[in-house]
Amino acid sequence: MRIYDLTLPISGEEENAQIEPDRSFIKNGITMSTLNLHSHSGTHMDAPLHFLLDGKPLDTMPLEKCVGPAIVCDLSHKEPDSFITVKDLEPWADKIGHKSRVLIRTDWSQHHGKLFFQTSFPRIHVECAQWLADRGIWLVGIEHQSVAKLTDMQELTEVHHAFLKSEVVIVEGLANLKDLPQEDVMFSALPLKIMGGDGVPCRAVAWIGE
């Protein structure tokens, strides 16, 4: 069985993620580091608490939502700074339903590290977010750092609300969806058990078969 890594690397050089030496093998006989990670750095998950005052934290998230069959929707044709709409997802409408896990491929992760990575990505229109939530999906995953435009607070709030009010798990910052050989895969993205967490980096993977 081949495991496909769908996770962005964290090098410690990012603005919101630092890795500093704590002890060295030469000096202390052991190597240890101090990690200073923003809760939404790299490939990460959003909890309802992220945008809802009374939203649930990550430690209460049902883990069965995070592991299982997923559908990869190839939208790699989408232009930068465009909206992902209901019409875009209609080819998979028969597959998207109660308890679905939907991974939206845009190949935007190939731009990781570039200046426009966090500003010009295709993002989910609020009507599309509500359409997915109304269908009862369990999880949505994207290759961008957010489901909505980071500089538009109204859009950011509306799209997150559409998902999080229905307790849809949001996985942001996926990578390498282009490497998956088929659209029906098994998927896993598990959060650290941060008590009261609004979000946390995670390791996302996919594989084919049982």
Catalytic residues: 50
Query: What DSSP designation does 26 have?
Result: H
Number of H helices, E strands in the chain: 4, 12
Task: Give 143-196 as a DSSP string.
Answer: SSS-SS-TT-HHHHHHHHHHHHTTT-EEEESB--GGG-SSSEEEEEEEE---TT
**Whose CA is closest to 137, among 99, 94, 84?**
99
Q: Who contacts 151 (Cβ-Cβ below 8 Å, separation ≥6)? A: 119
Q: Count CB atoms within 10 A of the CB of residue 208.
A: 14
Q: What is the Cα–Cα distance from 47 to 119, expressed in whole angstroms? A: 22
Q: Count CB atoms within 10 A of the CB of residue 2.
A: 9
In single-letter form, the type of residue at position 182 comes to Q
